[in-house]
Amino acid sequence: MPRPANPETRSRLLEKGGDLVSSRGFNATGVQEITAAAGVPKGSFYNYFDSKEAFAVAVLTEYWDAVVAEFGAILNEGRTPPLSRIARYFAGLAEFHERRRYAVGCLIGNMALEVTPTSEDVRIKLAAIYREWSAALASCLREAQEKGELSAAKDPGQLAIALIDTFEGAVMRAKVERSRAPFDGFERLVLPSLLT
């Protein structure tokens, strides 16, 4: 009779394996490396995840949940003007990457670059994350329109997508250059041009 799954082991697989995927990439990280990093037998992996793709979906879920927990509330701070909230939100994300010395980039963007036609579950999870991210920003942008901070001619949904896409580009460039300069450019040039 198989032993029941241990939540601590699953958490360790996600933590250690997630670190490997972040630093090496999804395609370059094997199940053997994930289990070795977590200190569990390779066969145990499949007690917790049906496949490597299922593991990737779980890692993405944990990563996104952590981003929302740390930064999501910024977009809903009612006492702060909406456009200031958006600027603070992206400044917080930039500081998050700075703490990591720009070395690993954004797991969401990294995984999006690595998704193949055979990783449909990963692609679906990434699309859901992008939709949720866009919706949170669009809600704040609509509030900015209601308060007269943002032109009524702008489409909040499309603007939210443009902000994410541009920020993710800055993350990738910061990763390559190991520099804050792309975030400075985003804050000084992109935000003002999109949000006026």
What is the DSSP-derived secondary structure letter of residue 44?
G
Query: pLDDT above 90 covers what percent of the chain?
Result: 92
* Range with the poorest average pLDDT among 6-10, 67-71, 140-144, 185-189: 6-10
- As a whole number, mean pLDDT of residues 54-59 equals 97
82 pLDDT more than 60: yes
According to the model, what pLDDT value does residue 3 have?
Answer: 55
The DSSP line for 60-127 is HHHHHHHHHHHHGGGGG-TTS-HHHHHHHHHHHHHHHHHHTTTSS--HHHHHHHH--TT-HHHHHHHH
- CATH 1.10.10.60 assigned to domain 1-49? The reply is yes
How far apart are the C-alpha atoms of 54 and 73, rounded to whole Å? 28
In tens, the pLDDT along 135-165 reads 999 999 999 999 999 999 999 999 999 999 9
2 pLDDT more than 70: no
Query: How confident is residue 115, by pLDDT bands cut at 50, 70 and 90?
Result: confident
According to the model, what pLDDT value does residue 5 have?
Answer: 73
Give the pair of three-digit tokens for residue 130: 């992008």
How far apart are the C-alpha atoms of 57 and 40, rounded to whole Å? 20
- Looking at domain 51-194, which of 3.40.50.800, 1.10.357.10, 1.10.40.50, 3.30.470.20 is its CATH number? 1.10.357.10
Tell me where in the chain the CATH 1.10.357.10 domain(s) lie.
Answer: 51-194
Query: How confident is residue 1, by pLDDT bands cut at 50, 70 and 90?
Result: very low
User: What Rg do the C-alpha atoms of the chain give, in angstroms?
Assistant: 19
Give the CA angle between residues 22, 28, 31 to the nearest 5°.
90
Tell me where in the chain the CATH 1.10.10.60 domain(s) lie.
Answer: 1-49
Give the pair of three-digit tokens for residue 50: 């049906």
According to the model, what pLDDT value does residue 66 have?
Answer: 96
- As a whole number, mean pLDDT of residues 78-82 equals 96
* Cβ(14)–Cβ(59) below 8 Å: yes
According to the model, what pLDDT value does residue 117 have?
Answer: 80
Query: pLDDT above 70 covers what percent of the chain?
Result: 98
Q: Which of 106, 195, 102, 119 is nearest to 153 (CA)?
A: 195
